[in-house]
Amino acid sequence: MFICIFDENKTFVMANQRVQAYFDVLHRTPKPIEFNGKLSEVFGENVFHSEIMREYLPSEAYKSMMKATGSGERLDRKMADQVASAMKDWAITKNATHYTHWFQPLTGTTAEKHDAFYKPVGPGKAIERFDGELLVQQEPDASSFPNGGIRNTFEARGYTAWDPSSPAFVIDKTLCIPTIFIAYTGEALDYKMPLLKALHAIDEAATGVCKYFDKNVNKVQATLGWEQEYFLVDKAWFNARPDLMMTGRTLFGHASAKGQQLDDHYFGSISERVTAFMRDFELESIRLGIPVTTRHNEVAPNQFECAPIFEECNLANDHNLLLMDLLEKIARKHDFRILLHEKPFAGINGSGKHNNWSLSTNTGVNLLAPGKNPKSNLQFLTFLVNTIKAIDVHADLLRAAIAGAGNDHRLGANEAPPAIISTFIGSQLTELLNKIEKNVKAGKMTPEDKTELKLNIGKIPQILLDNTDRNRTSPFAFTGNKFEFRAVGSTANCSSAMIVLNTIMAKQLQDFKVSVDARIKKGDGKDEAILKELQKLIKESKKIRFEGNGYGEEWVKEAKSRGLSNLMDTPRALQAWDGKGVADLFNDMGVLSPVELKARQEIEFENYIYKIQIEARVIGDMVQNFIVPAAVAYQNKLIQNVQGLMDVLGAKSGKVASNAQVQIIAEISEHINGMKEISDKMLVARKKANKIQGHENKAIAYCDKVKVHFDEIRYHVDKLELLIDDEEWRMPKFREMLFTR
Ligand code: ADP
Ligand code: MG
């Protein structure tokens, strides 16, 4: 029971944050949206897509624009002016008053700076203006964005430059233009620019390899289909928890008696309030051309997932960022807060963002889908085996790409893939690769050998999905017609993973082509050369393939014996950027220069330090200001009670009657002392860490010397939560945050 306090006007006044929150949550009602039309009719209505361009642009400008979106050809100034003017005219029909370059600085979120279309031209007179110059390039005051040492403050200029391959859109009466963000000296300060470069690299390398099979292929696109997981909590709970507000996750909280053990949330019916929220953000997403189709309850209570149909990688990534932004905004409208953090609540599942990835050609072929005949299947196998090989050689880079303070709680915690990178391909393909490994003979193959192998290859069933999708514990699983990178964190900009994946794949395909060409030059037939090279790659990359349970202890041991890395924390994972040949790899593939690469690593280390630092501070504050006062208040009540019993019953029998109370009093003291002792230790460790020069060493100190105390402190706090009178406890409990709707 809670005691509600009313003032003289009979209005509710603050009792404590938790009681107040309870009161608020109980009075929430669903806020359904008014929309009864067809989604297909509103799809993309807020996007300046090609059909709109055709309508708004003169035909010459339209053609130039199509070229710019397709092959990245530059628009000249006159065309840019025409496009800008058309964009503005269209945006105004959508009630836009402002425009912004929309970019992806290395903070992890998106950034925008709005400017109005209108321009005063005389007293009381103004016009609407937007020209090519404003469209193509801008100079935001960018000195406060992370740059990893690339920019000195005296040269703090940064530029945003239009990415015509991702269409402009209108949101909140503002025309948003997707852009890259670069330093005055040309280095990338964002995620988009290296992503575009990696996509260009994979296009070239994959097209080169496709030519072995089909001369008509002249473009290969990487495709990305992400699946976004998130939690919802009522805003009242959120605001009553400083840890949620400051860090996006709960730093304390005893598990509720019921968590996810009954599996009754997964795919369960979605509550009315949550449905209203989902319909709202989906409608906005669909209007913005984000093809969201799937929604369901996830495993943990109040955890959900949203997934669109896959798209070209750059566009898909923009859409994911836009969606994360929409989730945040629309959740507020429904009195929820969205938790995108990888691990908002201990003891129940955290959130990830599966990155489904494949490659598709201009001829409409998915290169990771088994084909209809031996020829197309040889192509499929070529791309499959080269992917496996790329993962094998560069596993540590993929691990580094998904590193972050939040994801450290997930990887290897028996709910998400382990920190060990491996790949799963299913039993049928494993069998096939084993056959190729054994049956391709050295030297010239006889026609019979070739036929037999080709027959084998031809036998791959087109639908492998059932067979391959069973293992949910693999970080990088083949799922029938794509790979699914499951270790990506829910807050991540998918670009991090996609830059690495597409770059290492491009490099691998390049090397593959060189080797196959050399074999052909030496006299092998084309198929024979390809098969022999595949055989070699299959043998070399065997250790990265793992079909068993990725969550088991056994795998940790086996992986170690195979020589695979198991990088359990962010600072260690980030060291991979210093690995041998890594700077050359990114430089040679034209994706990131050594300076850019180093800057990124610095930013990641720094980011890690700040995140842990903030968490440590919040822990300190909450212990002092929430936990100790509650514990002492309850302890005082008990002390009074004990004293009362002694008075009433007399010293001796009073003592007997108050045994249990005295025990609780002592336990509370023990936990207060324990908490205080460790908090003090943590404070000393923080002060020491802060003095360390260099981000890498500092990040390691924060990981090994500061973060290690988090769970020790939490242990005492969570025990106190169980001991102390519910009424004294001011922080919303897990059962409340997770089960009230
Ligand atoms: P789940 O992992 O929840 O079982 P799926 O494995 O079916 O779901 O994943 C579906 C996701 O994979 C969707 O986002 C879908 O768009 C994406 N996807 C399907 N084909 C491809 C492809 N060729 N390239 C990239 N993504 C794809
Ligand atoms: Mg999936």
pLDDT single digits (tens) 378-411? 999 999 999 999 999 999 999 999 999 999 999 8
Q: Would you say residue 441 has pLDDT above 60?
A: yes
Residues 6+ apart with CB under 8 A from 113: 100, 101, 140, 141
Among candidates 195, 586, 595, which has minimal Cα distance to 397? Answer: 586
Q: Which of 310, 473, 488 to mutate to test the pocket of ligand 1 (most atoms within 8 A of CB)?
A: 310
Provide the pLDDT for residue 339.
98
Among candidates 356, 364, 317, which has minimal Cα distance to 214? Answer: 364
- Long-range contacts formed by 638-641: CB under 8 A, 24+ apart: 638/664, 638/665, 638/668, 639/665
pLDDT band at 5 (very low <50, low <70, confident <90, very high): low
- Closest ligand 1 atom to residue 479 Cα is 6
Q: Which of 226, 313, 356, 361 to mutate to test the pocket of ligand 1 (most atoms within 8 A of CB)?
A: 356
How far is 472 from 568, CA to CA, in rounded Å? 20
Quick one: CA dihedral 268, 273, 278, 283, positive or negative?
A: positive
| Helix and strand counts by DSSP (H, E) for the chain | 28, 19
Torsion of CA 618, 620, 622, 623, to 10 degrees: 160
Is the minimum distance from the CB of 309 to ligand 1 under 6 angstroms? yes
How far is 673 from 422, CA to CA, in rounded Å? 44
Whole-Å CA distances, 712 to 388, 407, 676, 701, 719: 40, 20, 11, 17, 11
Provide the pLDDT for residue 155.
60
Q: Which of 3-12, 96-105, 298-307 has the highest mean pLDDT?
A: 96-105
Return the exposure string of 694-730: e unless at least 16 CB atoms fall within 10 Å of the residue's CB, then b: ebbebbbbbbebbbebbeebbebbbbbbeebeebbbb
3-state secondary structure at position 384: helix
Average pLDDT, integer, range 183-199: 93
Average pLDDT, integer, range 537-564: 94
Name which of 404-418, 463-477, 639-653, 658-672 the model is least confident about.
Answer: 463-477
Residue 85 tokens read as 């003017």
Average pLDDT, integer, range 654-681: 94
700 C-alpha to ligand 1 centroid (Å): 36
Provide the pLDDT for residue 175.
97
Q: What is the pLDDT of residues 317-349, one digit of tens each?
A: 999 999 999 999 999 999 999 999 999 999 999
Provide the pLDDT for residue 464.
61
Q: Would you say residue 47 has pLDDT above 80?
A: yes
- Percentage of the residues of the chain whose pLDDT score is greater than 70: 94
Provide the pLDDT for residue 256.
85
665 C-alpha to ligand 1 centroid (Å): 55
Is the minimum distance from the CB of 471 to ligand 1 under 6 angstroms? no
Is the minimum distance from the CB of 465 to ligand 1 under 6 angstroms? no
- Closest ligand 1 atom to residue 224 Cα is 25
Whole-Å CA distances, 723 to 198, 628, 634, 709: 55, 13, 9, 22
How far is 116 from 163, CA to CA, in rounded Å? 21
Going by alpha carbons, the residue nearest to atom 6 of ligand 1 is: 479
Provide the pLDDT for residue 465.
54
Indicate the pairing of strand 336-339 with strand 220-234.
Answer: antiparallel
How far is 269 from 271, CA to CA, in rounded Å? 6
How far is 252 from 731, CA to CA, in rounded Å? 9
Provide the pLDDT for residue 266.
67
Average pLDDT, integer, range 422-444: 86
Is the minimum distance from the CB of 509 to ligand 1 under 6 angstroms? no
For 39-190, give the CATH class. Answer: alpha beta
Among candidates 580, 344, 404, 381, which has minimal Cα distance to 464? Answer: 381
Average pLDDT, integer, range 223-251: 96
| Average pLDDT score over the chain | 91
Identity of the residue numbered 277: F
How far is 741 from 738, CA to CA, in rounded Å? 8
Domain layout of the chain by residue ranges: 1-30, 39-190, 199-592, 608-739
Q: Which residue has the higher pLDDT, 220 or 184?
A: 220
pLDDT band at 138 (very low <50, low <70, confident <90, very high): confident
Q: Does domain 608-739 have CATH number 1.20.120.1560?
A: yes
Provide the pLDDT for residue 639.
97
Please give the radius of gyration of the chain, using alpha carbons only, rounded to the nearest integer. 29
Average pLDDT, integer, range 480-504: 96
Under a CB-based contact definition with an 8 Å cutoff, are residues 96 and 118 in contact?
no
Residue 665 tokens read as 């009093």
Q: Would you say residue 619 has pLDDT above 80?
A: yes
Average pLDDT, integer, range 459-475: 69
Is the minimum distance from the CB of 250 to ligand 1 under 6 angstroms? no
- What is the per-residue DSSP string for 427-496? HHHHHHHHHHHHHPPSSSPPHHHHHHHHHHHHT--S--HHHHS--TT-SEEE-SSSEEE---BTT--THH
Q: Would you say residue 443 has pLDDT above 80?
A: no
Going by alpha carbons, the residue nearest to atom 7 of ligand 1 is: 479
Q: What is the pLDDT of residues 103-129, one digit of tens each?
A: 999 988 898 888 999 999 999 999 999
Provide the pLDDT for residue 408.
95
Average pLDDT, integer, range 603-627: 96
Q: Which residue has the higher pLDDT, 739 or 617?
A: 617
Q: Would you say residue 154 has pLDDT above 70?
A: no
Going by alpha carbons, the residue nearest to atom 4 of ligand 1 is: 469
Identify the bridge partners of residue 229 per DSSP, sorted by sequence position. 305
Average pLDDT, integer, range 529-547: 95
Quick one: CA dihedral 200, 573, 617, 623, positive or negative?
A: positive
Indicate the pairing of strand 423-424 with strand 476-478.
Answer: parallel
Q: Which of 133-142, 260-269, 438-447, 478-487 has the highest mean pLDDT?
A: 478-487
Q: What is the pLDDT of residues 511-533, one digit of tens each?
A: 999 999 999 999 999 999 999 99
Is the minimum distance from the CB of 221 to ligand 1 under 6 angstroms? no
Q: What is the CATH number of domain 199-592?
A: 3.30.590.10
Kind and range of the H or E element at 400? helix 395-401
CB within 5 A of ion ligand 2: which residues?
227, 354
Name which of 61-70, 367-376, 464-473, 633-642 the model is least confident about.
Answer: 464-473
Provide the pLDDT for residue 1.
36
Q: Which residue has the higher pLDDT, 296 or 707?
A: 707
The 3-state secondary structure of 665-699, one letter per residue: HHHHHHHHHHHHHHHHHHHHHHHHHHHCCCHHHHH
- Percentage of the residues of the chain whose pLDDT score is greater than 90: 74
How far is 72 from 165, CA to CA, in rounded Å? 7
- What is the per-residue DSSP string for 593-654? -HHHHHHHHHHHHHHHHHHHHHHHHHHHHHIIIIIHHHHHHHHHHHHHHHHHHHHHH-HHHH
Identify the bridge partners of residue 483 per DSSP, sorted by sequence position. 357, 478
Q: Would you say residue 9 has pLDDT above 60?
A: yes
Average pLDDT, integer, range 671-686: 96
Kind and range of the H or E element at 87? helix 77-93
pLDDT band at 574 (very low <50, low <70, confident <90, very high): very high
Residues 6+ apart with CB under 8 A from 37: none
